[in-house]
Amino acid sequence: MSNILQIVSDFVEPYINSLMAIFNDLEFWMQGVVLLVIAIFVVIGLFVFMKKFIVLFIILAIIGGAVYYVYTKTDLLSGLIGYASLFSVNMFIF
């Protein structure tokens, strides 16, 4: 496992060093602007992720409610389970 981490570290480290050299050569106010832009992108990304997660949660809740309704109010699932057992292989010989 540490071998994989070392390979990734060796691959990424030169890029990080060159980006940090470029960033350190910028003026102080420009470093602040770059950090502000990065922070805005991170916040927007978090909101987009939360929106997608909430939509996924709502869809799963609707599907779960439908399955619960079908399971408790109808005999559809028990009929399907009984029908599926017809195709199972009986392992008892005697």
In the chain, the DSSP E strands lie at none
Phi, psi (degrees; rounded to nearest 5) at 22: -65, -45
pLDDT score for 55: 92
**Under 8 Å between Cβ of 79 and 70:** no
pLDDT along the chain (94 residues), means of 10: 81 91 90 94 95 94 89 72 58 55
pLDDT score for 48: 94
CA distance 57 to 18: 41
- How deeply is 38 buried, as exposed, middle or buried, from its count of CB atoms within 10 A (0-12, 13-18, 19+)? exposed
pLDDT score for 81: 64
